[in-house]
Amino acid sequence: MGTAATLAEQAAVRELAALVDGPRTLRWFWRDDLEGMQGAARRMGHPLDHPAATYRCYHPTDEWVQHPAEPDVQGRAWRYRQPAAAPRRVLVNRIAHLDRHRHHP
C-alpha cells in the first residue's frame, strides 16, 4: 500500500480555491469540489441570499495566495460578490396591477 500524497503533490495536479473574503473567508477547497457545491446549490433552486447558496457568490480571480499552513502550496483566490437585492416590490406591484385589469376590463 502506497503513502498518501501530500497536499503539495495533490496541488500540483488539482487547483486549490482559496476563499479570501466574504462570509466563508479563509476556507480552502479543491476547485472542482467548490464548483460542484455551487452547481448543487443552483440545481436546488436556492436564491443567492439563502445560506446554502453562499458559495455561489464566490468567483475566481487571477490572484494566487499562499496556503497558511502548507509551505510551497498556493491556491487561486476566489472573491465574494454580494448578491443584488431582488426587486420583489416591483414584482408584487406588477401582479397586483395585472390582477386589477383582469377583474375590471
Query: For residues 57 and 80, is the Cβ–Cβ distance under 8 A?
Result: yes
C-alpha cell at 40: 448543487
Q: Is the pTM of this model over 0.85?
A: no
Residue ranges covered by each domain of the chain: 7-103
Q: In this model, does residue 103 exceed pLDDT 70? A: no
Cβ within 8 Å of residue 60, ≥6 positions away: 17, 31, 76, 77, 78
Q: Which residue has the cell 448578491?
A: 83
Give the separation between CA 65 and CA 41, rounded to whole angstroms.
Answer: 26
pLDDT by residue (tens digit) across 27-62? Answer: 999 999 999 999 999 999 988 888 888 999 999 999
Q: In this model, does residue 87 exceed pLDDT 70? A: no
CA 70 to chain centre: 24
Query: For residues 19 and 28, is the Cβ–Cβ distance under 8 A?
Result: yes
Q: Which residue has the cell 408584487?
A: 92
